[in-house]
Amino acid sequence: MTIIKGHICYSTDKDTLHTVENGYLVCERGKVKRVYESLPEEFEGIPIEDYGDRLIIPGLVDLHMHAPQYAFRGLGMDMELLDWLEAHTFPEEAKYKDLAYAREAYTYFVEDLKGGATTRACIFGTVHKEATTLLMELLEDAGIGAMVGKVNMDRNSPEYLCEESAEASALATVEWLEGIKDRFTLVKPILTPRFIPTCSDALMERLKDIQKQYKLPMQSHLSENQGEIAWVQELCPDTRFYGEAYAKFGMFGGDCPTVMAHCVSSNEAELALMKKNNVFIAHCPQSNENLSSGIAPVRKFLDMGIPTGLGCDVAGGHVTSIFRAMADAIQVSKLRWRLVDDTLKPLTVEEAFYMATMGGGAFFGKIGSFLEGYEFDAVVLDDTNLPHPQKLTVKERLERIVYFSDDRNIYDKYVSGVRTKR
Ligand code: GUN
Ligand code: FE
């Protein structure tokens, strides 16, 4: 049993941020038992880790990022998606064939995550199974909970990166899955067809077989950019909308837990199917700004009840901070409201915090809150270097942390009850 004490903040639903000043978070075998305002007698004698005036929040969840793109974040941010993939992304991802390069670059990436507030992440690797396995090892050693995918791409990709055939791509995926079987506790595999333009029908069919056989979730991209959407329509003339190009292979929620990045320009029919199939959306505001993709109607996703979380989408996004993603999500929602559609009100801090914790966490299971039975994933925040002339409430302190903290404010971290920092 572990008991930690401090100012505790967590979402109980999308509109409610619950705060307990000088509260006790009691955990047992890596799971939350309860949050108490004062400690019941039954727990007397159990040592308490007292974090004093610091804040304790659930670990942040990143629903979408690309580990091999970390090295070039902040570079080449003057292009739109498809040109950016050709000019910057594919050449960089090809380097991960070289395991020495992968080890160095992935070490920097994992160090970054380790120092930040993210405790769970959905992560794209590259097409290379060895480098993807290495990435999983590094994440497990760092105590980061993650779903990691070997990327599949067998068409419309440069020769130096494209997999030889659907069969070769599927075979490499199975070899990767067999090679990592039962090796990790915190890190799990996730199927990762890059997006429809780079995945043939034959490949999608094979991936569905693999998904069923290994009971895997899947992650991909959806309706991010107008050029991409038009291309998918050309490639799949039998579909009414982009999402159908995944759905026709049984790779769009339902028995295949799915998270789709972006959905900037999803139409009503696409959103309705996502709602029906419980497809998660990874909202990646910083990437959508950098690649001029647009502003996703997140208020609509929330109103419709489509499960939604946040993603940094490095290197579409240039930083890995999910606090920054929260602020970005709120800011772009204001621009959308002012400039595009005044019926969709801007996001609140409560909603952004919910998406960054409980909303995205639901893709992993009982993750992202301190309600009973949730995984004990927590981040302890120290804001003493952000002084203020007045006494602030816990919620005000959290808001300031969202907008302008950095890794120096992360004091301690727990993932599934295991302390991973200090
Ligand atoms: N669509 C297909 N591949 C990618 C990628 O690497 N990044 C982003 N943002 N979108 C994509
Ligand atoms: Fe992406």
Interval 368-387: pLDDT, tens = 999 999 999 999 999 999 99
Task: Please tell me the residue having the least CA distance from ligand 1 atom 11.
Answer: 221
Q: Which residues of 360-378 are buried (b: 16+ CB within 10 A; e: fewer)?
A: bbbbbebbbbbbeebbbbb
DSSP per-residue letters across 101-135: HHHHHHHHHHHHHHHSSEEEEEEE--S-HHHHHHH
Find the ligand nearest to 219 CA. 2
> For the chain, which residues make up each domain, given as ranges?
2-59+368-419, 60-364
Structure tokens at 88: 């910057």
Paired sense of beta strands 418-419 and 410-415, if any: antiparallel
Residue 9 pLDDT exceeds 70: yes
CA distance 74 to 93: 16
Say how many C-beta atoms besides its own lie within 10 A of residue 21's C-beta.
12
Tens-digit pLDDT profile for residues 76-130: 999 999 999 999 999 999 999 999 999 999 999 999 999 999 999 999 999 999 9
Residue 337 pLDDT exceeds 80: yes
Provide the pLDDT for residue 215: 98
Looking at residue 237, the DSSP 8-state letter turns out to be T
Cβ atoms of 282 and 261 within 8 Å: the answer is yes
All residues at 6 or more sequence positions from 149 whose CB lies less than 8 Å from its CB, including other chains: 122, 123, 124, 125, 132, 189, 190, 191, 192, 219
Cβ atoms of 308 and 341 within 8 Å: the answer is no
Provide the pLDDT for residue 421: 76
By most ligand atoms within 8 Å of CB, the mutation choice from 224, 226, 288 for ligand 1 is 224
Cβ atoms of 44 and 103 within 8 Å: the answer is no
State the first-to-last Cα distance of the chain, in angstroms, to the nearest integer: 20
Distance 65 CA to ligand 1 centre (A): 9
- How many C-alpha atoms does 203 have within 13 Å on its Cβ side? 27
Question: What residues pair up with 176 in beta bridges, in sequence order?
Answer: none
Tens-digit pLDDT profile for residues 154-195: 999 999 999 999 999 999 999 999 999 999 999 999 999 999
Ligand 1 atom nearest the C-alpha of 291 is 9
Tens-digit pLDDT profile for residues 253-292: 999 999 999 999 999 999 999 999 999 999 999 999 999 9
Distance 53 CA to ligand 1 centre (A): 41
CA distance 314 to 66: 6
Percentage, residues of the chain above pLDDT 90: 99
Q: At how many degrees (to 10) do helices 201-214 and 166-180 cross?
A: 20
Q: What is the mean pLDDT of the chain?
A: 98
By most ligand atoms within 8 Å of CB, the mutation choice from 62, 63, 64, 66 for ligand 1 is 66
In CATH, the number for domain 60-364 is 3.20.20.140
Q: What is the mean pLDDT of residues 322-343?
A: 98
Ligand 1 atom nearest the C-alpha of 316 is 9
- From residue 192, how far is each of 11, 189, 345 by CA, in Å? 30, 9, 33
Distance 194 CA to ligand 2 centre (A): 8
Ligand 1 atom nearest the C-alpha of 287 is 9
The CATH class of the 2-59+368-419 domain is mainly beta
By most ligand atoms within 8 Å of CB, the mutation choice from 221, 265, 292, 313 for ligand 1 is 221
Q: Which of 179, 363, 356 is nearest to 285 (CA)?
A: 356
Q: Which of 180, 167, 171, 72 is nearest to 131 (CA)?
A: 180
Between 59-63, 74-78, 259-263, 306-310, the lowest mean confidence (pLDDT) is in: 74-78
Cβ atoms of 200 and 166 within 8 Å: the answer is yes
Provide the pLDDT for residue 422: 67
Find the ligand nearest to 288 CA. 1
Cα 422–103–69 angle (5° rounding)?
90
